[in-house]
Amino acid sequence: MSKKLLVVFGATGQQGGSVANVVLSDPLLSSQYSVRAISRSTTSPKAQDLATKGAELISADLNDPLSLKAALENAHTVFAMTSTTLTGDTHEVETAQAKALCTAAIAAGAQYIIWQTLPPVMAISDGKLSVNHFDTKADIEQYIRSLPIKSAFYCPAYFMQNFTNQLMPPRPSPANDGSYVFASLCNPDTRMPLIDATEMGKWIAPILESPDEYEGKVLEAMEGWYTWKEIAEIVSSVTGKRVAYQQVSDELFKEWMPPLVKDDMQGMFVFYRNYGFYSKPPGQKSEDSGKAKGKLSSLEEFCKKAEFTFP
């Protein structure tokens, strides 16, 4: 039986790269799917690494609909996601990208789309809150559901990588005592679902193995729940630095965010605090717990391999 062609967009990024690598290295999935890795630069080291593992490389750009035709030729299943922009126009950009990709996929005869979604904040909060990049991805999910193609969705938890990048790094404590704080609008006991973004392929694997079972469903892709207090304690324990969690005011938090998205970021953390990431009551587990293929890294394990910057 011939293999089905899996087209992976963003194949050199954290999530797409994880999907491509999981399929290429898994005996069952690699016997069922061939991988076409899509990247804007097929000469990058990450792209070339995928090629050595057996992936076909094609250059394409979601902002260039004409490039999508070759990228999707003979595709059976498409893994795709759109990236949030930090220029204030993410709704327009992501929606246009999603529609261009879906149009091209259907025209190419693709049978299945796997798409990243996020919680519909406007709907969950009854219009009290809006988080542009969350609502955009939720709107795209509904758009895809209306199309004549099978689909499944995954909703990734808060990325552990956010603790090592510009979004939520450890900051010097206001006490100026050599200690550090993680700071946000959330209460110290607000629970956050976390995931190492480079392990997203372990959540996509079950969809690829059993596409009919997951058709129309949303997988909550997470490793586990952690309170902000626990997050700070784990980072402190692993790094040897004194790290605590601090809840800060809206005004101070917005000062730390890029100007064009500061309101969106504020709304996102208010949503986490008031409704919860997956809008679940305290103590309730995800219905998808245990469905990922393979072991997922705990926050402690992630911290041991991560590179933290302590100013």
- The angle that helices 14-25 and 201-209 make with each other, rounded to 10 degrees, is 50
Whether the CB-CB separation of 77 and 42 falls below 8 Å is answered with no
Question: With 70 as the cut, is the pLDDT of residue 283 above it?
Answer: no
Whether the CB-CB separation of 60 and 67 falls below 8 Å is answered with yes
Could you give the CA distance from residue 48 to residue 257 in angstroms, rounded to a whole number?
Answer: 35
- Strands laid side by side in the 150-156 sheet: 56-59, 33-39, 4-8, 77-80, 112-116, 150-156, 218-221
Could you give the CA distance from residue 16 to residue 160 in angstroms, rounded to a whole number?
Answer: 17
Whether the CB-CB separation of 126 and 193 falls below 8 Å is answered with no
Model pLDDT for residues 142-199, shown as the tens digit of each residue? 999 999 999 999 999 999 999 998 788 899 998 999 999 999 999 999 999 999 999 9
Tell me the pTM.
Answer: 0.94
Domains of the chain, first to last: 4-157+196-221 (3.40.50.720), 161-192+224-282+294-305 (3.90.25.10)
The pairing of strands 112-116 and 150-156 is parallel
CA separation, residue 143 to residues 136, 148, 236, 296 (Å): 11, 11, 43, 31
- What pLDDT is recorded for position 290? 87
Model pLDDT for residues 62-79, shown as the tens digit of each residue? 999 999 999 999 999 999
State the average pLDDT for the chain. Answer: 94
Model pLDDT for residues 86-116, shown as the tens digit of each residue? 777 899 999 999 999 999 999 999 999 999 9
For residue 42, give both structure tokens: 């097929």
Total residue count of the chain as it appears in this document: 311
